[in-house]
Amino acid sequence: MTHLVLDKVSVHYDGQAAPAVERVSIDVAKGDFVVLVGRSGCGKTSLLNVAAGLVEPVHGGATIGGRPITAPSSDRAVVFQNDALFPWLTARENVAFALRLRGVRLGERAHRADALLALVKLDGAGDKRIWELSGGMRQRVGLARAMAAEPEFLLLDEPLGALDALTRERMQTTLLDLWTASHVGALMVTHGIEEALVLATRIVVLAPGPGRVVRTFETGFSRRYAAGEAIRSIKADPAFAAARGELTDAIFDGEAA
């Protein structure tokens, strides 16, 4: 099984007195959904950028399948909070653009793009321009475009952060459906405690000054969704409320440590 590994990673940006991240290790296997949480400044995005090949650590390193990560690659797809879509193109054309970069033949692109849009519950929306779509729909197009590369891992930097609460919950189910259907590994950054609990198979709690791991939680709520339980049922479970309280305490306790 392929693993995405951050091994004793430290990140230090020019002009900063202290490292942004110091000797953090994280292992994500295909099929895992690992979520990074913690207050702003604890290094969550820095770690994601190392995994993406966008930032070079000053200590340690990142590998995928044992191969060093030194640059972005199609085996890792990155989805940011801002969708970065081409607004003058349709939803189908945005996804087809990624397929073109992969060398997919022109005659196959529209069909493949529509299949990817259907995977994120945008059946029939292929002809809509990006500016016609809601924020949630644009993020779905962004996910479909990311999956066009057939990545082994999805790297998600607060992709739902700008959405309203109801749209955000719908997008949580979309992410879980996509993860379940594709068997990719996922590494995600979020500030949402409930979001982390419902999506993750494992939660890594980080604290700032410099960024470091203070606690790790193994969670089973996303597996329950994959087994058929509704997301509202999961969130109504007293065990979910207890886990939310424990995770909140871990974040605040980590800051005080």
CA distances (Å), origin 63, targets 3, 40, 68, 162, 222? 8, 26, 4, 31, 26
Q: How many Å apart are CA 173 and CA 250, to the nearest integer? A: 26
- Whether the per-residue pLDDT at 124 is higher than 90: the answer is no
Contact between 125 and 133 (Cβ < 8 Å): yes
Taking CA atoms, 80 is separated from 87, 104, 105, 155, 178, in Å, by: 16, 24, 28, 8, 16
Which segments of 120-220 does DSSP mark as H helices, in order? 135-147, 165-182, 193-199
Of 174, 162, 87, which is closest to residue 128 (Cα–Cα)? 87
The rounded distance, in Å, linking the Cα atoms of 220 and 200 is 8
Residue 64 pLDDT > 90: yes
Sequence-separated (6 or more) residues with CB below 8 Å from residue 245: none
Q: Which CATH number fits domain 3-75+152-256: 3.40.50.300, 1.10.1060.10, 2.60.40.10, 3.30.565.10?
A: 3.40.50.300
Q: Which of 30-34, 118-122, 183-187, 214-218 has the lowest mean pLDDT?
A: 118-122
Sketch the domain layout of the chain as residue ranges. 3-75+152-256, 86-150
* SS3 assignment, position 14: coil
**242 phi and psi angles, rounded to 5 deg:** -65, -40
Q: What is the pLDDT of residues 126-166, one digit of tens each?
A: 999 999 999 889 999 999 999 998 999 999 999 888 788 88
Residues β-bridged to residue 33? 186
Q: How far apart are CA 143 and CA 141, in angstroms?
A: 5
Question: What pLDDT score was predicted for residue 255?
Answer: 61
Percent of the chain past pLDDT 90, that is, above it, reads 79
Task: Decide: helix, strand or coil at residue 182.
Answer: helix
Band of residue 17 on the pLDDT scale cut at 50, 70, 90: confident
Nearest to 114 by CA among 141, 151, 85: 141
Give the residue-averaged pLDDT of 216-221: 95
